[in-house]
Amino acid sequence: MQAPRILIYGTHGIGKTTFAANAPNPIFLFTEDGAGQLALDSFPLLKTYEDVISALNALINEEHDFKTVVLDSLDHLEPLVWEHTATKAGKA
């Protein structure tokens, strides 16, 4: 049985991050500074596609007690994917 994949969509400030913080033992992969005053377990701000992949690889390959991975946010991840893809293709 695969773990559930959940996408939470909503306007800025509606409480998506707070909601995700209540998941079982979450670790946050932030691609934007959106945690506000919340004290959350997270990797440092992920500024490149490679940073995101590195964080995911660490979670896959290293021992930890986290049970939920929260990628916050997808709209800030998308340009990183486009930039990575363009660079690999030799495009601007």
The number of helix segments (H) and strand segments (E) in the chain equals 3, 2
- Is the pLDDT score of 31 beyond 90? yes
State the pTM of this model.
0.90
Q: Backbone phi, then psi, for 27, in 5-degree steps?
A: -120, 130
- Is the pLDDT score of 36 beyond 80? no
- pLDDT score for 3: 85
Q: Which tokens hold the place of 60?
A: 């896959």
Q: Which residues contact 40 (CB under 8 A, 6 or more apart)?
A: 17, 21, 26, 28
Question: What's the pLDDT tens digit per position in 57-91?
Answer: 999 999 999 999 999 999 999 999 999 999 999 99
